[in-house]
Amino acid sequence: MTGLRLVLAGAAIGNGNRGVEALGRSVIDAVERDSPHTLLSVLDDGWGVRRDGRRPELLEYVGVRLSRRWHRPESWAQIRLAQALRPRINPVARRFARADAILDLSAGDSFTDLYGPARLAMVCAPKDAALRAGRPLVLLPQTYGPFKTAAGRRRAERIVRSAALAYARDPWSHDRLLELAGRDGDDTRLRSGVDVAFALEPRLPRAEITERIEQVGSEGPLAGVNVSGLLVGAAGHARFGLAGDYLETMVAVVRGLISAGAHVLLVPHVHVPGGRDESDVAALRLVLEHLSERERVRTTLLPPQLDAAELKWSIARCDWFVGSRMHATIAALSTLTPAAAYVYSDKTRGVFDTCGVGDEVVDARRTAGRDAADRMIGSFERRAVTRTVLEDRAPQVVERSRAQLREVLDTVRRWRESPHRAVSAG
């Protein structure tokens, strides 16, 4: 029997979002380790089908997009038409038709209408394609909701109830998953899990970066700081209902850490070419502009070219870390690095709770400025206590992250041997 054929959606590699990349690479690593001879088709926003240069027998990238160029094979309109008429004429529709399962991650936290209807449509497109193809849809560990509109909620309910298997990545999200499934939901396929990025293996960056990190880390406490470009400025303030000026708060945090004797490692986790829109690189440069020359000497800005695994290695070198990008903080928690989070939604609290450190989450919708900065500096000062908690709790979470991916692959193999089981599960 040949290996499995899998499609992975909602976890594109190389799009500048290192959190989404961390999800995708974690699944790729698991498939390579636990399911030899599998062909994994990773959906991204590129063009055409491209085999991975290092692992062409394992991995390919398949372009899909919501596009006005409906005639292009990557267009979801064209894919939907091919699915209705003749799937084999479209490379994407053909892969859905032949897949043993479609694995979907929704970028970890994008299965929501919080970011607007266009974003929800993009996130739901591969889920809908899996259901149209009659193939098992597996919702890998992710956040469900919030849903602010009745239409968005109905769409999510339909997908959850049609999925062959669905995992939530924390207890809060699991409660939301059960709500979407309704009273008749099958508990055996609605499972509580953990974020798959906990399983990502760190990797050394190039020599000059590792040497710089080791050098500044030897001079005293090294504090990592991630600033989210999503939250900087009036648009982010209004969109997420922040309590105050986010940039001002993060500048106060960096200054407080420097005053406490730390060297600050500035960590971008989303890089948009040109530094526009939601780029963390642009946000971190704004922080630097607000610092004095003497303060800037006590900072190091990591280059945006580092990939998710290299960033995880860098974050693990810190004595403490704070971030607003959740997957940046997961890189810390999963390497037993004491961490805090300054956030705009409830999703991060659930992830921190799984590691026993939920109190290290500061809600930007409720506190800002000096008060918020003091809470984060307090987290830095009690980092030894937090590390003790993580040493007890986090290894179990990392192992659960690996085990649940093995669980999924084993389940898909059983479905392949008895196809009716997958159909009945959905």
Q: What is the pLDDT along the chain (426 residues), one digit of tens a residue?
A: 468 999 999 999 988 899 999 999 999 999 999 998 999 999 999 999 999 988 888 999 999 998 777 779 999 999 999 999 999 999 999 999 999 999 999 999 899 998 899 999 999 999 999 999 999 999 999 999 999 999 999 999 999 999 999 999 988 899 999 999 998 888 899 999 999 999 999 999 999 999 999 999 998 999 999 999 999 988 888 988 999 999 999 999 999 999 999 999 999 999 876 545 689 999 999 999 999 999 999 999 999 999 999 999 999 999 999 999 999 999 999 999 999 999 998 889 988 999 999 999 999 999 999 999 999 999 999 999 999 999 999 999 999 999 999 999 999 999 998 866 565 444
5-199 and 207-395: identical CATH topology: yes
HEC profile for the chain? CCCCEEEEECCCCCCCEHHHHHHHHHHHHHHHHHCCCCEEEEEECCCCEEECCCCCCCEEEEECECCCCCCCCCEHHHHHHHHHHCHHHCHHHHHHHHCCEEEECCCCCCCCCCCCHHHHHHHHHHHHHHHHHCCCEEEEEECCCCCCCHHHHHHHHHHHHHCCEEEECCHHHHHHHHHHHCCCCCHHHEEECCCHHHHCCCCCCCHHHHHHHHHHHCCCCEEEECCCCCCCHHHHHHHHCCCCCHHHHHHHHHHHHHHCCCEEEECCCECCHHHCCCCHHHHHHHHHHCCCHHHHCCEEECCCCCCHHHHHHHHHCCCEEEECCHHHHHHHHCCCCCEEEEECCCHHHHHHHHCCCHHHEEECCCCCHHHHHHHHHHHHHCHHHHHHHHHHHHHHHHHHHHHHHHHHHHHHHHHHHCHHHHHHHC
Fold designation for 5-199: Rossmann fold (3.40.50)
Domain residue limits, the chain:
5-199, 207-395
In DSSP terms, 341 is beta-bridged to 323, 361
Q: Which residue has the tokens 């059983």?
A: 414
pLDDT at 276: 56
Vertex 305 angle, CA 41 and 300, to 5°: 145
* Residue 296 exposed, middle or buried by CB count within 10 Å (0-12, 13-18, 19+): middle
Rounded Cα distance, 329 and 321, in Å: 7
**Would you say 137 and 102 are in contact if contact means Cβ atoms under 8 Å apart?**
yes
CATH ID of 207-395, from 3.40.50.2000, 3.30.1370.60, 3.10.580.10, 3.90.110.10: 3.40.50.2000
Q: What is the pTM of this model?
A: 0.90
